[in-house]
């Protein structure tokens, strides 16, 4: 490496970077001469720049052009500009030199170097070869232009009516493949309203108006069907409407009259078919190996190729067509060769209708066989309908605005995802199907918790959980899921909404609420700390006296007392610090509800007693563990206790009772006061944000709203009961127990 005049040579890390980086690095002194250039820079231009002036370096590194094709001068060099003291110097060049005559792109960044007095002492330049990146950008632009052209061609090729309609129901533009599908001549459509051409004789006007409104309000694809009267009769139309911005919709309309007529014919045909085959359970033939009918069983002889009395004793090659005989012989030969049951499907025309039959042939004794023929037409149709249903499902899933995923319940393998999920996970050119879903959970145990909830309820709604994208980015979602049968397998279908920003806002709101709470607690806590401090002061005086008199028993007694009071003070401070910490930093752990209440009471007891409030504690003798965020649960219990304390201010009899008990698989926490109560009209609103019954300036209306959201996130519930003003209030929190 060349010499360093600016103190870099003493920095091992800088040396390593200088020698190992793929970027070109140049150091220029105040006189404009190159005093250092790394190997990457020299390789990039095919020569050593050391000792060159800026003009010589400009010539050696090749002719430069801006991205717009403007020829550069030496004054445009980032090194030149850095020596002038300019800031934020960045430039992209296209240049050619002897090392790379085909040309290449570079990003150049210049930094001004200053001495200890702040005077300019030189310039430091970083040059990065970005040719591959720029070429990919250019290729992407060409692909985009190609795609745009293809889209325009596709637009022209759509065989449907296309309208642009404003939110005021005015036709703005249209294209049409067949003029006979228009309700009015072409030139009379643009500028008119849909009500000028449609009426409600068959509900078409109302249906279209509602679809326009819904498309603009929801931003979702709207699919409708309506009927119009034409001179030659009724015509049926299917329309798909999608918002184009906020002021108009695009409507693609297809004449489906032929399909409707076909459906009607199919329905009529199916009705005739069901009437015809209602009593057909199947056919059973007992036959010899050479094809003689020994026995025939059927409830309807019409499906036989010959009457039953003719078939009995006869041979198949005399009663059935050649193709039927050939299929029978193929099954018979395979049966004789393998000894295993043979199965095949065949289409036959029965009474002018093609039907599908399943033929099963098995050995019956030594020289006989049984041939069972079952009508599986409905099964085949069901398979086709299932295929069509799957196609419809995929169309709907791809049109959804939320990510959607289907995974196998047994192992979490992904069976289907829509495009929205790829977008949400920021994935391109990656197939998620066949990969395990646990890879996307920030905490893999979340999937098992989800499955446990699904087993109990069959579905979950608004389940909040943390996921992780393949790029390592964490985000929060509100998750809804249920169990389904997908391609014959038990599966989980799930959709979610990204709530990361909402979670951040909630965390900020919770922290603000806690800071306000700490302010309210400060006076009581100060008193709690002052009492042990007074004891410590007195005991320290006694220690001095005992030391002078060599009264070691008294000395130990006072030192023990000081130790107890220091422990008490540190406990108060530790609990205050625990309470004030950011709850988002805490992991979910097992929390003993009774212990949490005891911690809250430790901070509140003196304050409540000083206001003449009688405290009654009825805690569980056994630990009741729930899984959750301990700081968030403390916040909930404190909010409820603080509200109860405020409700007792105007009461003559001031009593506050805390109860914790177990009810089957739930932990129940209740706090009941003898305060002013809540009126029936206010009771439904108490958990809404910013709702408060307190005087102006006495409350934010956020405490109960925050508490309700926190309990919901812990998969619990919170409820309030009050018989009215002056009759007290009961709050009940219900949380799922975590066994063992």
Query: pLDDT at position 277, please?
Result: 38
**Which residue in 244, 201, 200 sits closest to 222, CA to CA?**
244
The beta strands (E) that lie in 487-604 are given as: 489-498, 589-592
Residues 6+ apart with CB under 8 A from 298: 280, 282, 283, 284, 304, 308
Rounded CA gap, 37 and 409, in Å?
60
**Which residue in 463, 413, 470, 471 sits closest to 438, CA to CA?**
413
Topology of the domain comprising 275-381: Beta-Lactamase (3.30.450)
Rounded CA gap, 592 and 486, in Å?
41
Characterize the bridge pairing of strands 655-663 and 614-618: parallel
CATH architecture, domain defined by 8-135: 2-Layer Sandwich (3.30)
pLDDT tens, position by position, 528-580: 566 667 667 766 777 787 788 887 787 777 777 777 667 666 666 665 665 55
DSSP 244-290: SSSSEEEEEEEE-HHHHHHHHHHHHHHHHHHHHHTT---EEEEEETT
Residues 6+ apart with CB under 8 A from 654: 611, 612, 613, 614, 648, 674, 675
Question: What are the structural domain ranges in the chain?
Answer: 8-135, 158-255, 275-381, 400-498, 587-740
CATH architecture, domain defined by 400-498: 2-Layer Sandwich (3.30)
pLDDT tens, position by position, 674-726: 988 888 888 888 887 766 766 554 555 667 888 888 888 888 999 999 887 88
Rounded CA gap, 150 and 143, in Å?
10
Query: pLDDT at position 585, please?
Result: 52
Query: pLDDT at position 577, please?
Result: 61
| Distances in whole angstroms, Cα of residue 172 to Cα of each of 206, 208, 223 | 20, 16, 20
Per-residue pLDDT band for 158 (boundaries 50, 70, 90) equals: low
User: Which H or E run contains 356?
Assistant: strand 353-364
496 DSSP β-pair partners = 479
pLDDT at 418 over 60: yes
Rounded CA gap, 480 and 341, in Å?
47
Number of CB atoms found within 10 A of residue 595's CB: 14
CA dihedral 692, 696, 698, 700 (to 10 degrees): 50
Query: pLDDT at position 588, please?
Result: 78
736 DSSP β-pair partners = 666
Collapsing DSSP to helix, strand or coil, 721 comes out as strand
Ranges of H-type helices in 91-203: 131-157
CA dihedral 161, 166, 170, 174 (to 10 degrees): -20
Per-residue pLDDT band for 210 (boundaries 50, 70, 90) equals: very high
Per-residue pLDDT band for 8 (boundaries 50, 70, 90) equals: very low
What value does the mean pLDDT of the chain take?
80
Domains 275-381 and 400-498 alike in fold: yes
Topology of the domain comprising 587-740: Heat Shock Protein 90 (3.30.565)
Are 706 and 640 contacting, i.e. CB atoms less than 8 angstroms apart?
Answer: no
Alpha-carbon 236 to chain mean position: 39
185 DSSP β-pair partners = none
Ranges of H-type helices in 619-702: 630-647
| Distances in whole angstroms, Cα of residue 276 to Cα of each of 306, 308, 353, 357, 380 | 18, 19, 11, 16, 18
Query: pLDDT at position 346, please?
Result: 78
Collapsing DSSP to helix, strand or coil, 190 comes out as coil
Residues 6+ apart with CB under 8 A from 435: 413, 414
Residues 6+ apart with CB under 8 A from 83: 28, 30, 32, 112, 120, 122, 123
pLDDT tens, position by position, 377-405: 777 776 766 666 666 667 676 667 788 88
pLDDT tens, position by position, 294-307: 888 776 566 677 78
Ranges of H-type helices in 257-376: 257-277, 308-311, 316-319, 322-338
**The pair of three-digit structure tokens given for residue 385, joined into one six-digit string:** 């309908």
CA angle 305, 306, 307 (to 5 degrees): 135
Pick 99 or 139 by higher pLDDT: 139
Are 24 and 41 contacting, i.e. CB atoms less than 8 angstroms apart?
Answer: yes
Rounded CA gap, 462 and 450, in Å?
12
Rounded CA gap, 270 and 268, in Å?
5
Rounded CA gap, 456 and 513, in Å?
35
158-255 is a CATH 3.30.450.20 domain: yes
pLDDT tens, position by position, 619-669: 888 889 999 888 888 888 888 888 888 888 888 888 999 999 999 899 999
Rounded CA gap, 373 and 357, in Å?
6
Residues 6+ apart with CB under 8 A from 21: 38, 40
Collapsing DSSP to helix, strand or coil, 621 comes out as coil
pLDDT tens, position by position, 70-123: 788 888 888 888 899 887 788 887 877 777 788 888 888 999 999 888 899 999
pLDDT at 279 over 50: no
Biggest alpha carbon distance in the chain?
Answer: 133
Rounded CA gap, 281 and 285, in Å?
13
Residues 6+ apart with CB under 8 A from 594: 619, 620, 623, 624, 660
């Amino acid at each position: 490496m060349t010499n360093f005049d600016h103190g870099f040579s003493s920095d091992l890390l800088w040396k390593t970077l200088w020698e190992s980086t793929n970027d070109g690095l140049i150091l220029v002194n105040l006189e404009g001469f190159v005093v250092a250039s790394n190997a990457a820079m020299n390789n990039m231009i095919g020569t050593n720049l050391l000792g060159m002036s800026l003009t010589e370096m400009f010539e050696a590194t090749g002719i430069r052009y801006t991205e717009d094709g403007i020829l550069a001068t030496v004054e445009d060099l980032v090194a030149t500009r850095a020596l002038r003291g300019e800031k934020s110097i960045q430039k992209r060049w296209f240049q050619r030199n002897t090392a790379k005559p085909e040309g290449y792109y570079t990003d150049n960044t210049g930094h001004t170097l200053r001495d200890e007095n702040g005077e300019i002492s030189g310039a430091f330049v970083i040059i990065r070869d970005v040719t591959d990146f720029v070429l990919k950008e250019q290729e992407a632009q060409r692909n985009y232009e190609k795609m745009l052209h293809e889209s325009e061609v596709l637009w022209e090729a759509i065989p449907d009516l296309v309208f642009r309609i404003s939110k005021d129901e005015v036709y703005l533009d249209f294209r049409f493949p067949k003029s006979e599908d228009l309700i009015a001549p072409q030139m009379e459509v643009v500028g008119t309203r849909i009500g000028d051409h449609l009426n409600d004789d068959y509900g078409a006007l109302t249906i279209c108006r509602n679809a326009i409104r819904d498309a603009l309000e929801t931003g979702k694809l709207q699919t409708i069907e309506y009927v119009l009267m034409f001179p030659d009769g009724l015509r049926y139309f299917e329309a798909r409407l999608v918002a184009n911005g906020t002021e108009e919709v695009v409507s693609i309309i297809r004449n489906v009259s032929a399909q409707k007529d076909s459906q009607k014919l199919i329905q009529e045909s199916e009705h005739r078919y069901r009437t015809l085959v209602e009593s057909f359970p199947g056919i059973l033939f007992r036959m010899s190996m050479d094809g003689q009918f020994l026995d025939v069983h059927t409830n309807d002889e019409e499906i036989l190729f010959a009457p039953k009395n003719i078939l009995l004793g006869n041979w198949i090659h005399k009663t059935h067509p050649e193709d039927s005989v050939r299929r029978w012989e193929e099954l018979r030969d395979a049966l004789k060769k393998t000894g295993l049951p043979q199965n095949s499907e065949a289409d036959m025309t029965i009474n002018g209708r093609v039907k599908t039959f399943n033929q099963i042939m098995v050995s019956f004794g030594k020289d006989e066989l049984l041939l069972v023929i079952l009508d599986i037409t409905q099964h085949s149709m069901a398979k086709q309908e299932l295929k069509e249903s799957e196609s419809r499902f995929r169309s709907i899933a791809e049109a959804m605005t939320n990510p959607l995923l289907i995974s196998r319940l047994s192992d979490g393998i992904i069976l289907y995802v829509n495009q929205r999920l790829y977008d949400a996970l920021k994935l391109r050119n990656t197939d998620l199907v066949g990969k395990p879903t646990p890879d996307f959970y920030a905490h893999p145990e979340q999937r098992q918790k989800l499955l446990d909830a699904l087993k109990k309820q069959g579905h979950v709604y608004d389940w909040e959980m943390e996921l992780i994208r393949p790029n390592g980015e964490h985000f929060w979602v509100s998750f809804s899921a249920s169990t389904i049968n997908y391609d014959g397998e038990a599966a989980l279908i799930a959709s979610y909404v990204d709530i990361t920003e909402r979670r951040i806002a909630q965390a900020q709101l919770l922290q603000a609420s806690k800071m306000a709470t700490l302010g309210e607690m400060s006076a009581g806590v100060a008193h709690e700390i002052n009492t042990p401090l007074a004891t410590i002061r007195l005991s320290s005086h006694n220690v001095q006296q005992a030391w002078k008199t060599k009264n070691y028993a008294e000395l130990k007694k006072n030192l023990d007392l000081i130790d107890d009071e220091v422990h008490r003070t540190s406990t108060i401070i530790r609990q205050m610090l625990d309470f004030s910490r950011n709850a988002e930093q805490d992991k979910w752990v097992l929390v003993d509800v009774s212990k949490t209440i005891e911690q809250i009471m430790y901070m509140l007891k003196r304050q409540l007693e000083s206001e003449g409030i009688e405290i009654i504690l009825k805690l569980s003798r056994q630990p009741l563990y729930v899984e959750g965020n301990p700081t968030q649960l403390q916040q909930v219990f404190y909010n409820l206790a603080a509200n109860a304390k405020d409700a007792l201010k105007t009461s003559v009899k001031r009593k506050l009772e805390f109860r914790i008990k177990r009810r089957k698989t739930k932990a129940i926490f209740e706090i009941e006061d003898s305060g002013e109560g809540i009126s029936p009209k206010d009771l439904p609103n108490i958990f809404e944000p910013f709702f408060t019954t307190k005087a102006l300036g006495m409350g934010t209306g956020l405490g109960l709203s925050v508490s309700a959201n926190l309990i919901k996130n812990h998969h619990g519930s919170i409820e309030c009961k009050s018989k009215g003003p002056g009759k007290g209030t009961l709050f009940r929190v219900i949380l799922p127990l975590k066994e063992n």
